[in-house]
Amino acid sequence: MSNNVVWGQPNCKYCDVAKALLEKAGIPFEYKELETMDDKAEFFEVTNGARSVPQIIIDGAHIGGINELREMLA
């Protein structure tokens, strides 16, 4: 897994916003959709049981969702 990851799901406008913000900031990232049970297990493990998307990992650390990403980039 990349050090920078956006976890999301289909038709998630905030997931799209998170990806756009990272692209604009020039931060490379991997986008992972919650599609399988294995994906969900990994998601819960790396996000400490988060229940919403997007969830963002930067430099290997879970920073949170879209609001936390906006704060980090401000």
- Which tens digit of pLDDT belongs to each residue from 27-50? 999 999 999 999 999 999 999 999
How many folded domains does the chain comprise? 1
Q: Where are the beta strands (DSSP E) in the chain?
A: 5-8, 30-33, 55-58, 61-64
Q: Average the pLDDT over 12-40 and give the result.
A: 96
pLDDT at 8 over 90: yes
Domain span at 55: 5-73
More confident site: 19 or 49: 19
pLDDT of residue 39: 93
Strand partners, 62: 57
Q: Which of 48, 58, 50 is closest to 21 using CA atoms?
A: 58
pLDDT at 52 over 60: yes
Domain at 60, CATH number: 3.40.30.10
Residues 6+ apart with CB under 8 A from 44: 50
Q: How many CA atoms lie within 13 A of 1 on its CB side?
A: 18
